[in-house]
């Protein structure tokens, strides 16, 4: 739905036309993907063992990256919403860097930090831990780009939680951790879920940082977007079919999101 | 169990400095106009804000004292707090709201839930245990909040305007729940009230604060008979004028702040408070003659019917409230904005030394 007409008013054509153009701009390529897909070859792709591997790699790394982003992004978002400390705006700006940074640059930065001769990578290598071109690197690359979505969503969600409820919980005997887990988090849940879903979607589609830091090693670091690009060099039809799988996953994420904030309001009961 | 506190806190330009003690089993009402600092007092006692100066001693233990750096966190203070509006957790059912207090203090889940049901039974809400608190009425919500505060086995009870925002029927049931709560605990109790009726009818002592400072402490009777500020007088339904006592032309007078002179019956020297009942104020459209009477010219700013009588607020110097019979008010055809003369006989004015 484009929008309901305001009572007694009309949607001005000057707004309606560009809005429809924008919608078509999104819908047409998606439609093209579906229409031009070699559906007759679907069976061969479904049987393909490499697809299973790629899909599994994508889901596993995406889930791990989301978990990592949540584990660090939730406390960070809480800190930005509730903490009163100097340099908070600097912290917020820093947390948003991966959002503005081109992913390839992010991947390069990760390589310089965690690569074999990187800032932290060199001592890690001495300890026998080599990150680049491993699944761990793919997870790190995805978490890097997904983190800001969690931080932003959690900060907004926590800020909207009534502080008086946290204070009352404390007066009832709940320590800070209990207040956070039993009161703040449940009340921030809708925003938290939205942040997690967006982070997962972003991790799933991550390309630039992953290819730079983790490479496109088949069966090891090659996730769906990397596979789509790889296959595209040789066989366009196959690439389209792989892309459809990604499209289906994205659709699932959007359906999951609908409950948390696209539909507006909370999704309890 | 006793509370002994002197609370000094600064919030920008607002400064709070309030001393209070509450004995075991005693109920003290905290009264004051909006913005006087009532909720700040509650938050400081609960420990969700800290004092800048002074001390808070609960049961002989210092829980907040900036001089020594002592501060007991809210979750270790054992304060049963019913905040304004109830402060129920919207994501939990009634029974889980109450059980929260028990779980937080380490009670096992099953025991906590059983005990929470008992507490809800005491406030007559056993049948609503499993309902989401968002489905409870205003009065039911407050009762859950009261049960929850009691369940935490408090050493101090803080009830912040428990009756505000409720309709008459709900007030009655919540008032009963508060009385039952008093009976169930011998902790010191602080009842913050906006409506004087609640404070005067439920408290052993009343502390009145204005602009962050205590202006009067006393029994409800003291307050009604000897109000010290215009706010307290208004609560007690009296007119109050502060000034200095003296004599003019051989007659005792009170000189008010703006240079007005009130003729009074008895001579009291020095700083004084003069009070008179609204029913002792007559209202005229024309300036009346005669003596010895006080005539104050002003504008009618408010007309409030109170059953068989009408209270008329007149913005004269000082402001007076007159209480007229409905027929007298009707005969005068008063409307807000009218210029009128408020008349008070000297013998109707009681003069006392100011505190």
What does the pLDDT look like over A193-206, one tens digit per residue?
A: 889 999 999 999 99
* pLDDT of A109 higher than 80: yes
* A165 touches B: beta carbon within 8 Å: yes
Q: Which residue has the higher pLDDT, A161 or B272?
A: A161
* pLDDT of A266 higher than 60: no
Q: Say what the pLDDT of residue B172 is.
A: 80
* pLDDT of B194 higher than 80: no
Task: Give the C-alpha separation, B124 to A182, whole Å.
Answer: 27
CB A158 within 8 A of CB A77: yes
Q: Is the peptide bond before A164 cis (omega within 30 degrees of 0)?
A: no
Q: Which residue has the higher pLDDT, A103 or A257?
A: A103
Tokens of B279: 């029913």
Q: Say what the pLDDT of residue B28 is.
A: 95
8 Å CB contact of A170 and B74: yes
8 Å CB contact of B87 and A183: no
| Most confident residue range from A74-78, B329-333, B335-339, B342-346 | A74-78
* A266 touches B: beta carbon within 8 Å: no
ipTM score of complex? 0.75
Across A153-159, average pLDDT: 94
- Give per-residue burial for A119-147: e unless 16+ CB within 10 Å, then b: eebeebbeeeeebbbbbbbbbbbbbbbbb
Closest CB to B104 among A165, A167, A172: A172
Alpha carbon of A162: minimum distance to chain B alpha carbons (Å): 9
Tokens of B236: 């007690």
8 Å CB contact of A174 and B87: no
* B162 touches A: beta carbon within 8 Å: no
Alpha carbon of A269: minimum distance to chain B alpha carbons (Å): 10
Q: Which residue has the higher pLDDT, B281 or B196?
A: B281
8 Å CB contact of A173 and B46: no
Query: CA angle, B302 as apex, B300 and B306 as ends, to 5°?
Result: 125
* pLDDT of B198 higher than 80: no
Report residue A236's pLDDT band, with 50, 70 and 90 as the boundaries.
Answer: confident
Across A118-130, average pLDDT: 88
8 Å CB contact of B100 and A172: yes
Q: What is the mean pLDDT of chain B?
A: 89
For testing contact with chain B, the best of A171, A179, A191 (most B CBs within 10 A): A171
Q: Say what the pLDDT of residue B152 is.
A: 84
Q: Which residue has the higher pLDDT, A17 or B234?
A: A17
Alpha helices for A172-223 (secondary structure H): 176-179, 185-187, 189-205, 208-213
* pLDDT of A209 higher than 80: yes
Contacts of B27 (CB under 8 A, 6+ apart): B182, B189, B191, B202, B203, B204, B205
Across A216-245, average pLDDT: 89
Q: Model pTM?
A: 0.76
Q: Say what the pLDDT of residue A268 is.
A: 38
8 Å CB contact of B81 and A168: yes
Chain-centre distance of CA B278, in angstroms?
21
CB A166 within 8 A of CB A160: no
Give the whole-number percent of chain B exceeding pLDDT 90.
49
Q: Say what the pLDDT of residue A47 is.
A: 65
* pLDDT of B94 higher than 70: yes
8 Å CB contact of A173 and B73: no
* pLDDT of B275 higher than 80: yes
Q: Say what the pLDDT of residue A9 is.
A: 61
Across B110-133, average pLDDT: 93
Q: Say what the pLDDT of residue B139 is.
A: 92
Across A105-123, average pLDDT: 91
Query: Among residues 32-91 of chain B, which lie with CB inside 8 Å of chain A?
Result: 43, 46-48, 73-81, 83, 87, 89-91
* pLDDT of A153 higher than 80: yes
Residue A13: other Cβ atoms inside 10 A: 8
* A169 touches B: beta carbon within 8 Å: yes
8 Å CB contact of B89 and A165: yes
Nearest residue on chain B to A189, judged by CA atoms? Answer: B91
Alpha carbon of A89: minimum distance to chain B alpha carbons (Å): 23
* pLDDT of A4 higher than 80: no
Across A109-118, A161-170, B93-102, least confident range: A109-118
Contacts of B314 (CB under 8 A, 6+ apart): B283, B296, B298, B299, B300, B301, B320, B321, B322, B340, B342
For testing contact with chain B, the best of A162, A168, A192 (most B CBs within 10 A): A168
> Which residues in chain B touch residue A268, judged by CB atoms under 8 angstroms apart?
91
Across B334-340, average pLDDT: 89
* pLDDT of A3 higher than 70: no
* A174 touches B: beta carbon within 8 Å: yes
Pairing status of strand B61-65 against strand B53-58: antiparallel
Q: Say what the pLDDT of residue A46 is.
A: 63
Residue indicated by tokens 């899909």: A55
Give chain B's radius of gyration (CA, Å). Answer: 24
Tens of pLDDT, residue by residue over A41-60, are 777 766 676 788 898 999 99
Task: Give the C-alpha separation, A130 to A122, whole Å.
Answer: 9
Q: What is the mean pLDDT of chain A?
A: 87
Report residue A267's pLDDT band, with 50, 70 and 90 as the boundaries.
Answer: very low
Report residue A262's pLDDT band, with 50, 70 and 90 as the boundaries.
Answer: very low
* A167 touches B: beta carbon within 8 Å: yes
Residue indicated by tokens 């559906």: A39
Q: Say what the pLDDT of residue A1 is.
A: 46
* pLDDT of B339 higher than 80: yes
Closest CB to A171 among B74, B89, B90: B74
* pLDDT of B316 higher than 50: yes
Residue A95: other Cβ atoms inside 10 A: 21
Q: How buried is residue A90: exposed, middle or buried, by Cβ count under 10 Å (0-12/13-18/19+)?
A: exposed
Q: Is the peptide bond before A241 cis (omega within 30 degrees of 0)?
A: no
* A164 touches B: beta carbon within 8 Å: yes
* A188 touches B: beta carbon within 8 Å: no
Q: What are residue A50's phi and psi, to 5 degrees?
A: -65, -30
| SS3 label, residue B308 | coil
Task: Give the C-alpha separation, B191 to B167, whole Å.
Answer: 19
* pLDDT of A263 higher than 70: no
> Which residues in chain B touch residue A173, judged by CB atoms under 8 angstroms apart?
75-76, 78, 101, 104-105, 152
Alpha carbon of B79: minimum distance to chain A alpha carbons (Å): 6
Task: Give the C-alpha separation, B262 to B315, whole Å.
Answer: 16
* A182 touches B: beta carbon within 8 Å: yes
> Which residues in chain A touch residue B76, judged by CB atoms under 8 angstroms apart?
173
> Which residues in chain B touch residue A168, judged by CB atoms under 8 angstroms apart?
81, 83, 87
- Give per-residue burial for B226-255: e unless 16+ CB within 10 Å, then b: bbbbbbbbbbbbbbbbbbebbeeeeebbbb
Closest CB to A170 among B75, B80, B105: B75
| Most confident residue range from A140-144, B194-198, B239-243 | A140-144
Nearest residue on chain A to B45, judged by CA atoms? Answer: A171
Q: Which residue has the higher pLDDT, A263 or A69?
A: A69
């Amino acid at each position: 739905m484009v929008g309901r007409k305001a009572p007694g008013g009309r949607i001005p054509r000057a707004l309606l036309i560009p809005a429809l153009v924008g919608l078509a701009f999104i819908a047409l390529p998606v439609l093209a993907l579906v229409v031009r897909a070699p559906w007759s070859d679907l069976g061969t792709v479904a049987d393909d063992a490499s697809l299973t591997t790629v899909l599994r790699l994508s889901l596993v790394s995406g889930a791990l990256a989301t978990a990592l982003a949540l584990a660090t992004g939730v406390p960070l978002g809480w800190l930005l919403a509730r903490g009163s400390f100097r340099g908070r705006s600097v912290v917020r700006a820093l947390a948003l860097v991966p959002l503005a940074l081109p992913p390839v640059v992010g991947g390069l930065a990760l390589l310089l930090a965690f690569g074999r001769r990187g800032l932290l990578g060199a001592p890690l290598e001495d300890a026998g831990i080599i990150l680049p071109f491993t699944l761990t690197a793919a997870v790190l690359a995805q978490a890097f780009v997904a983190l800001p979505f969690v931080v932003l969503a959690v900060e907004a969600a926590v800020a909207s939680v009534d502080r008086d409820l946290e204070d009352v919980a404390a007066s009832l005997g709940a320590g800070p951790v209990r207040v956070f887990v039993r009161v703040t988090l449940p009340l921030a849940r809708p925003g938290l879920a939205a942040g997690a879903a967006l982070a997962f979607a972003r991790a799933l589609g991550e390309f630039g940082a992953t290819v730079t830091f983790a490479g496109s090693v088949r069966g090891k670091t090659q996730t769906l977007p990397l596979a789509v690009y790889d296959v595209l060099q040789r066989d366009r039809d196959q690439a389209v079919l792989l892309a459809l799988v990604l499209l289906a996953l994205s659709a699932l994420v959007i359906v999951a999101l609908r409950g948390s904030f696209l539909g507006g309001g909370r999704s309890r009961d | 169990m006793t509370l002994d506190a002197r609370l000094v806190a600064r919030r920008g330009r607002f400064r709070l400095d309030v001393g209070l003690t509450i004995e075991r089993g005693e109920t003290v009402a905290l009264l004051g106009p909006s913005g006087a600092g009532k909720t700040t007092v509650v938050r400081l006692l609960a420990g969700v804000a800290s004092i800048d100066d002074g001390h808070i001693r609960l049961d002989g233990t210092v829980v907040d004292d900036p001089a020594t750096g002592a501060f007991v966190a809210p979750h270790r203070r054992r304060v049963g707090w019913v905040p304004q509006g109830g402060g129920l957790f919207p994501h939990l059912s009634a029974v889980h709201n109450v059980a929260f207090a028990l779980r937080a203090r380490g009670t096992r889940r099953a025991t906590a839930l059983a005990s929470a049901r008992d507490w809800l039974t005491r406030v007559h809400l056993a049948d609503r245990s499993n309902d989401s608190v968002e489905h409870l009425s205003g009065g039911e919500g407050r009762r859950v909040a009261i049960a929850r505060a009691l369940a935490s086995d408090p050493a101090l009870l803080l009830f912040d305007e428990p009756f505000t925002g409720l309709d008459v029927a709900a007030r009655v049931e919540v008032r009963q729940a508060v009385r039952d709560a008093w009976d169930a605990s011998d902790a010191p109790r602080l009842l913050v009230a906006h409506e004087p009726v609640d404070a005067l009818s439920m408290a052993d002592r009343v502390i009145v604060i204005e602009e962050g400072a205590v202006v009067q402490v006393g029994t409800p009777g003291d307050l009604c008979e000897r109000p010290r500020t215009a706010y307290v007088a208004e609560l007690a339904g009296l007119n109050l004028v502060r000034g200095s006592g003296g004599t003019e032309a051989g007659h005792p007078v009170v000189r008010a702040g703006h240079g007005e002179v009130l003729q009074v019956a008895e001579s009291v020297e020095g700083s004084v408070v003069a009070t008179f009942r609204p029913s002792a104020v007559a209202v005229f459209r024309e300036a009346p003659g005669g003596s010895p009477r006080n005539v104050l010219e002003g504008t009618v700013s408010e007309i409030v019917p109170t059953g068989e009588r009408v209270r008329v607020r007149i913005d004269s110097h000082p402001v007076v409230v007159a209480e007229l019979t409905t027929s007298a008010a009707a005969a005068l055809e008063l409307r807000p904005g009218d210029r009128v003369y408020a008349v008070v006989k000297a013998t109707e004015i009681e003069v006392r030394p100011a505190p």
